[in-house]
Structure 1
């Protein structure tokens, strides 16, 4: 946590700044992947902030990521939603990439819902499938790129957090049930997500290797956020939208591209919104098995100030 802007005190200052400018006290956090920013539009009574106006916050530089933090309610549950996330390939230190997750925890978030666009490695998957993530492969972590590297602040979590239960099984089962009820059975899958550093897409040899290692989908995000969320004691649910098939045949002329990612996200947007909305509606938020980290919500938070030019 040696990176500027990433200490507990700096995260706390950012959380207090946000809490002073909205009455929403979120218990659910949602992170939108490429082309999936429309999920934030589901929130009622919105209060939105541009990333550039939030103290200590990085800025999103990727097309398809709006770069706004949106507070509001979804089926009467208070939420905060990131329209756009941060990635290693943007040049940010990994602690900065995961900074919003720590701020979410200090805002009072108990359950984190993450979405991403991913390439399909599982040959049974089709473009447009939704994959509930049951586990992950952290390839950058094999090389020591982990958001928990450096001094550990016990106020966030323990030095050696368990990751065998990173993805909440009860939420996975509920999502599958909800998906069946919505008629999504034909394109709702589950599998293992593998993260790479990006921004280049995978070579054919890399895709073949990852598939043999047990990965069903591959992308450039999510895993680092999951690690920090679990370090902080949050419940985690995540899913990938399969936006392209990874190329694994040297005879193929297909080429992965970001435009295809955004187009697929746009086509599935309405169904994804219904799925997330139904999941959040059925969530049991006050699970006593997950300890609250940090100070009570509103502790030390100044009285709400009138809207100003910092609000989107």
Structure 2
């Protein structure tokens, strides 16, 4: 346990944040995590500084096809951002504390809001491939077996021992995203729902999909929830969305088979609209905060 605590210690996270801040002039206030096939968001960032994960001290290495493995700093819709082109997963063999280390590094760099994307299997029968689900809540299935990124000694400099998760996904950001989607004409494929995370890397069995759907999950994937837990522990606002890249198989007579190439292809087809949605949302956050800064103070 002591070795595990060391791999995400405040000192270690601080050293990584300091190394990055010495290499870039960007001081990000928004962090973005790009899921499978969705790394094109980083290409929208202007005046970018790019670092490969392999060059960043203490960072894990991305091993998944479709994840570029780069950290990109710059501005998006006028707001200083840092964007992860690819994330880390339990199935890559990293402890859950290690795969969420970037969240703590971002916090120490000044990030206030995290925006996360993923590709997920649709469990809700009303969802179609290509729909985008705004996550309103999650089920951390590995957490039922004690796999939680906050296990081990608590670091009080990041957050409290028992953080609340009933507000994990910021209500105002979700409302804003729905409004942005309506303005962009995306309402037909924009949904809200509950995301369930599993360990992977095998896709779910039919029995597992049926169970998760009955538990109230609308989509299932292998990421995001752990990052959100750590980001919320550190006091950052969180917004996340899932691209429904395939429909979960829940019929034993079905010939459908889930596969990673289908996930990446769906990402390519919906990429431009997702990029527009996220970039416009970031701009809307900046606009809202500017109005709050300029609002007259009560006497």
Fold similarity call, TM over 0.5: yes
SS in 2 for 1:201: coil
Residue in 2 that maps onto 1:250: 252
Summarize deviations over 1:30-76 as a string: whole Å, max 9, x none: 00000000010110000000000000000000000000000000111
Mapped partners of 2:22, 2:13: distance in 1? 14
Mapped partners of 2:280, 2:127: distance in 1? 23
Mapped partners of 1:159, 1:179: distance in 2? 36
Is 1:90 the equivalent of 2:92? Answer: yes
Matches within 5 A, 1:3-18: 3=4, 4-18=6-20
Residue in 2 that maps onto 1:304: none
Residue among 276, 279, 292 paired with 2:278: 276
Residue in 1 that maps onto 2:232: 230
Matches within 5 A, 1:1-312: 2=2, 3=4, 4-283=6-285
TM, length-normalised to structure 1: 0.91
Summarize deviations over 1:170-214 as a string: whole Å, max 9, x none: 000010010011000110000000000000000000000000000
Structure 2 residue runs of 5 or longer lacking an equivalent are: 291-299
Structure 1 residue runs of 5 or longer lacking an equivalent are: 288-312
Q: Give the count of matched residue pairs.
A: 287
Compare the two structures and name the one with the higher helix fraction. Answer: 2
Residue in 2 that maps onto 1:295: none
Residue in 2 that maps onto 1:299: none
Mapped partners of 1:12, 1:185: distance in 2? 41
TM, length-normalised to structure 2: 0.95
Between 1 and 2, higher relative CO (CA 8 Å, sep ≥ 6) is seen in: 1
Mapped partners of 1:5, 1:47: distance in 2? 26
Mapped partners of 1:103, 1:286: distance in 2? 23
SS in 2 for 1:186: helix
Mapped partners of 2:243, 2:195: distance in 1? 11
Summarize deviations over 1:96-146 as a string: whole Å, max 9, x none: 010000001001000000000000000000000000000000100000000
- What is the aligned-residue RMSD (CA, Å)? 1.1
Mapped partners of 2:227, 2:137: distance in 1? 13
4+ runs of 1 displaced by more than 3 Å?
A: 284-287
